[in-house]
Structure 1
């Protein structure tokens, strides 16, 4: 008897008494937690307006354990609502709420309407004292009272978490029967007030057809998978068994024969059964559901940030860098400040951290926001390949730079030199680490040549690398002769006598005359190289051709290293 009472689970006892009331066709159930002057729960009452228990049925209901009348009917007696219990053990659960229990029930029986009291005590759990029935005109219903027990578990009953647990378990029933109301400790149990999103999916498995209902809540709940019959009455509960960071949800598997497989539910998932097969299908559908919902949530958040001006990318920006930022930002969106200026600054800083130090993003965010295990785990999966993210940022930077150079060529040529100076990789990867050099600037200034765009240098021990770039509208034979003369002059300047220097002198033209085509496309030299000596190479290239080659090079790198666009959606 003590084992069946499950006295360590007072909330389970409350739920059982609520289900008993609903099985008696109640339309309202009130659970009241009576507190002592010091705030301890000293008495619990559950009152309903159901049909009550007729005097002639009390003996059968209380004198033996098991064999409930509910086994022999498909629905409640009056309204044919779905039934919950059928094992005849529910009344024992009240011992979890008190050592003294009293049922006061008003029902219509053979002799008319009467009121009857049934009393019990934990000292003799199987002895239920059924009093004499008294005629009455009171409304039908049952009042269950439990008292005389002191337990820290009882004092936890008022917690909001217990109200949420009741809400998640009763949600399918209260949705199916909206005329029913349950009030717990003065607060209505109403799923509609906290449901954020609901989805229903058909399931097909070896045992037939079932249904999966997923309810996402606006408050934190335990992630559970309730195994229910066709009417939404839970037969058992298991862990949801999936990861869905950022979502508070409860899932319900509705299968009409579920109650017939209650033993399989209680045995767990370590054996082959139709319930185990159904759980596998349900969890796979749950994963698919939250993959889709994660995409929806990401789009909704990004659209909201864009509308309010907090999003740190303009509409034209695209690529793996932005996709990675979206994944990271939406993964921790609950921690991002709500105020406009603060959110705008946080998102901008987050973008820079993702681009510059992806391997540090999780640690930085954890230090600032104190992330949950779910949030940290999701970030670790997103940022697992920091090399790919860093490469994605490089790709994004370079494509943006190429677009800027194309625009400046016609719109603002005076700024070309300044932009090129920051992106010398345009002339080849070996020029990627060049910088300004006063000595080089002085030498190129002493010699007349084409319009100078930039002069950059790199020092490495006793060797130097120099890049000099000029520009003209059209390059022909005359410009080529002047370019070679200029290149030989700067390379032979006395300022670098005795120093080993590798010179690359470029002429970028809006158009290259046809008479120069043989020189710029000599099969024995790299494309565009018109002079190749030890320590000196001279180049004549078409602007559009150079930028097109840069774009192809970046795209090839993008596909080979980051796998984009396949990686646009990271793990």
Structure 2
């Protein structure tokens, strides 16, 4: 027996051993066996009474280590005979190891290491035993060779290390890592058998789909070609990108760095020059080396691949749901809106299908609930799914990309917006024109408050306007023109003693470049017919407000809207002048200011709004019922929606139970409004004024 001392610092040897990675050590020992032309490699794990790893044994039937090369194999780092060779000595297989570090990885598996190897040397077939201990990693004891008639091969034994790290060998992840590492090699050499902990490694049995692509890149003026092989598994694996030689032997492993939710896969890029560039992948794609260029091309191809596969998989899953009777849609979509909804549902449902309960009845219920979420709350779908299914970051990112960064997002949002507006118009028509509904609607605290958030009805450009507190203050200063001295006047009594409904004046403002735009809307009580008096009054008010010192020398557009149920013939004539837009009674430009006064009826506003939405109405085929309109109010304007109106159908109005002493129009029998909040000042979004006429 002789002692061989490894000429290297012990801490360097310890780093090369990578004792935190026992699975990597097993893989390295398997590669050593395959480089020695082994046809069979068996990894055995002996367990202690506490089910911990007690001993690891790696047995192969390769060519072994000859007595003549034992000392050279263990006395240095590097200098392996494989360094200058491309193929194995006997069978001509591609080689994996070239750095001579493989034997040191055994220290990750045990404190005591023993190699028992049989090989054909100069003096015939001989057995040699080499041993080492982690107390002195640089020293190897090589026993005297003995002649033998046993088959060639090597047995590596490691034991005596008490560490929970070794338990990594006992979990399923260890098997999947070994499977993905050797899949290309075993596909190339199906006669090779690898066993791990009593079971054969069988990549073919776990492969769900395999796809190959040709890759091209240019480096230093030379055109290079490579092959990308993508294996999708039916088991959970770590996503890895294996950098291989042209034969599929792994040289390095790096991160995939693409998003592909729902796919378990391993990518292998095969390039003949890879062995000449070990560890170059650590520089990343920012470098200008060939590996960086190859990585960039590889990842782009992977993105394209899984984008296509995601579409295929969605179709496969949806078809399976249909075959099993779980799909919540039973007819083909007829309208554009239905097509958009269906596409969105398919994306959402197939994204979360892995998180769904397994029983069929539970899946059916889950799919039905998802359908309702997509149909009625498309903008909230992502949040709902995250709360219910606890999606992974990859799933959430991909779903966000699909729903919010594609044309589909614009379509579904447009569809939802148009449907909401049509629902609101139906609700507004019902509240304004229906004789019974009027009794249930409080104009100031309900209808007017709702309109504050639906200013698009006055024109699309007004949808962008927001509340402006300073404008409200200016409006307050000029209320005298309208015969109103204070913002919150006392209740107005009609001739019959009833309380008059207080009008609302909305104000909105925005700044665009160096020009401001203001909208002021006064809503007249339903019984008031607008005459020349009211028109002149609003004109005077508009002029006074626009000439306020606060707005001096400011480029500003003023629009004053007077909305009523009815107007006399003279006022109607003023709003139908040929040179002015319909409804415009006054258009004055003076200095930097532009002032327009409009008089519109509710029917005008609703019909004009419907006209703007007609194209979408036809293509989205959405004609809301009264029930749908009331549902919109309940969801969007819950704070101000007339509860009694929302809950009551047109046919059941008389069956509604109101609080004691309150009539359907919200007034108490003595003519005073039931809720004190009804006479409180509104927020900065509007100025509340009274109609004293």
Segment drifting more, 102-111 vs 250-259: 102-111
Out of 166, 175, 178, the position equivalent to 1:163 is: 175
Measured after TM superposition, the shift of residue 333 of structure 1 is: 1.0
Measured after TM superposition, the shift of residue 183 of structure 1 is: 1.0
Residue aligned with 2:429, SS: coil
Q: What's the counterpart of residue 332 of structure 2?
A: 315
CA distance in 2, matches of 1:71, 1:432: 81
Does structure 1 retain, via aligned residues, the 8 Å contact 2:43–2:197? Answer: yes
1:100-179 to 2 correspondences below 5 Å: 100-179=112-191
Q: What's the counterpart of residue 348 of structure 1?
A: 368
Measured after TM superposition, the shift of residue 288 of structure 1 is: 0.3
Q: What's the counterpart of residue 389 of structure 1?
A: 412
CA distance in 2, matches of 1:131, 1:239: 43
Measured after TM superposition, the shift of residue 77 of structure 1 is: 1.6
Measured after TM superposition, the shift of residue 390 of structure 1 is: 4.3
Where does structure 1 lack aligned partners over 5 or more consecutive residues? 399-422, 442-454, 465-495, 504-523, 527-532, 539-545, 559-571
Residue aligned with 2:277, SS: helix
Q: What's the counterpart of residue 281 of structure 1?
A: 297
Measured after TM superposition, the shift of residue 550 of structure 1 is: 4.3
Distance 1:378 1:60, change over 3 A: same
1:74-89 to 2 correspondences below 5 Å: 74-89=86-101
Measured after TM superposition, the shift of residue 162 of structure 1 is: 1.1
Distance 1:285 1:537, change over 3 A: closer
CA distance in 1, matches of 2:207, 2:154: 31
CA distance in 2, matches of 1:204, 1:71: 28
Measured after TM superposition, the shift of residue 556 of structure 1 is: 9.4
* Residue correspondences, number: 458
CA distance in 2, matches of 1:536, 1:34: 86
Distance 1:40 1:497, change over 3 A: closer
CA distance in 2, matches of 1:329, 1:424: 28
Q: What's the counterpart of residue 484 of structure 1?
A: none
Does structure 1 retain, via aligned residues, the 8 Å contact 2:239–2:265? Answer: yes
CA distance in 1, matches of 2:311, 2:226: 26
CA distance in 2, matches of 1:205, 1:457: 76
Tell me the alpha carbon deviations over residues 301-350 of structure 1, each in whole angstroms, 9 at most, x when there is no partner: 11122222222222234421211111111111112233333222211211
Distance 1:4 1:335, change over 3 A: closer
Out of 338, 351, 354, the position equivalent to 2:358 is: 338
Residue aligned with 2:50, SS: coil
CA distance in 1, matches of 2:177, 2:197: 14
Residue aligned with 1:33, SS: strand
Segment drifting more, 256-265 vs 376-385: 376-385
Distance 1:129 1:374, change over 3 A: same
1:69 is the counterpart of 2:78? no
Out of 386, 395, 398, the position equivalent to 1:375 is: 395
CA distance in 1, matches of 2:107, 2:229: 33
Distance 1:165 1:75, change over 3 A: same
Does structure 2 retain, via aligned residues, the 8 Å contact 1:30–1:182? Answer: yes
Tell me the alpha carbon deviations over residues 188-211 of structure 1, each in whole angstroms, 9 at most, x when there is no partner: 221112211111110001140011
Tell me the alpha carbon deviations over residues 76-110 of structure 1, each in whole angstroms, 9 at most, x when there is no partner: 12211111011222111111112211111112222
1:256 is the counterpart of 2:272? yes
Does structure 1 retain, via aligned residues, the 8 Å contact 2:415–2:620? Answer: no
Measured after TM superposition, the shift of residue 359 of structure 1 is: 3.2
Measured after TM superposition, the shift of residue 366 of structure 1 is: 2.5
Tell me the alpha carbon deviations over residues 106-140 of structure 1, each in whole angstroms, 9 at most, x when there is no partner: 12222222211111222332322221222222111
Residue aligned with 1:220, SS: coil
Tell me the alpha carbon deviations over residues 245-302 of structure 1, each in whole angstroms, 9 at most, x when there is no partner: 1111111111011000114235444532110111000000000001000110111111
1:151-300 to 2 correspondences below 5 Å: 151-207=163-219, 208-300=224-316
CA distance in 2, matches of 1:322, 1:75: 56
Does structure 2 retain, via aligned residues, the 8 Å contact 1:356–1:390? Answer: no
Does structure 2 retain, via aligned residues, the 8 Å contact 1:105–1:117? Answer: yes
CA distance in 1, matches of 2:110, 2:526: 101
CA distance in 1, matches of 2:340, 2:603: 36
**Higher RCO by CA contacts (8 Å cutoff, separation 6 or greater):** 2
Residue aligned with 1:332, SS: helix
Measured after TM superposition, the shift of residue 457 of structure 1 is: 11
CA distance in 2, matches of 1:124, 1:303: 63
Does structure 1 retain, via aligned residues, the 8 Å contact 2:373–2:381? Answer: yes
Measured after TM superposition, the shift of residue 32 of structure 1 is: 1.1
Residue aligned with 2:79, SS: coil
1:324 is the counterpart of 2:311? no
Distance 1:44 1:550, change over 3 A: same
TM-score, normalised to structure 1, is: 0.72
Out of 298, 304, 318, the position equivalent to 2:320 is: 304
Does structure 2 retain, via aligned residues, the 8 Å contact 1:104–1:118? Answer: yes
Measured after TM superposition, the shift of residue 55 of structure 1 is: 1.9
Measured after TM superposition, the shift of residue 237 of structure 1 is: 1.2
CA distance in 1, matches of 2:414, 2:439: 25
CA distance in 2, matches of 1:136, 1:434: 102
Measured after TM superposition, the shift of residue 553 of structure 1 is: 5.1
Distance 1:112 1:323, change over 3 A: same
Distance 1:359 1:28, change over 3 A: same
CA distance in 2, matches of 1:34, 1:337: 38
Measured after TM superposition, the shift of residue 433 of structure 1 is: 3.4
Out of 443, 448, 453, the position equivalent to 1:461 is: 443
Q: What's the counterpart of residue 506 of structure 1?
A: none
Does structure 2 retain, via aligned residues, the 8 Å contact 1:435–1:457? Answer: no
TM-score, normalised to structure 2, is: 0.60
Measured after TM superposition, the shift of residue 223 of structure 1 is: 1.2
CA distance in 2, matches of 1:219, 1:81: 29
Tell me the alpha carbon deviations over residues 505-527 of structure 1, each in whole angstroms, 9 at most, x when there is no partner: xxxxxxxxxxxxxxxxxxx999x
Does structure 1 retain, via aligned residues, the 8 Å contact 2:40–2:193? Answer: yes
Out of 428, 436, 455, the position equivalent to 1:433 is: 428
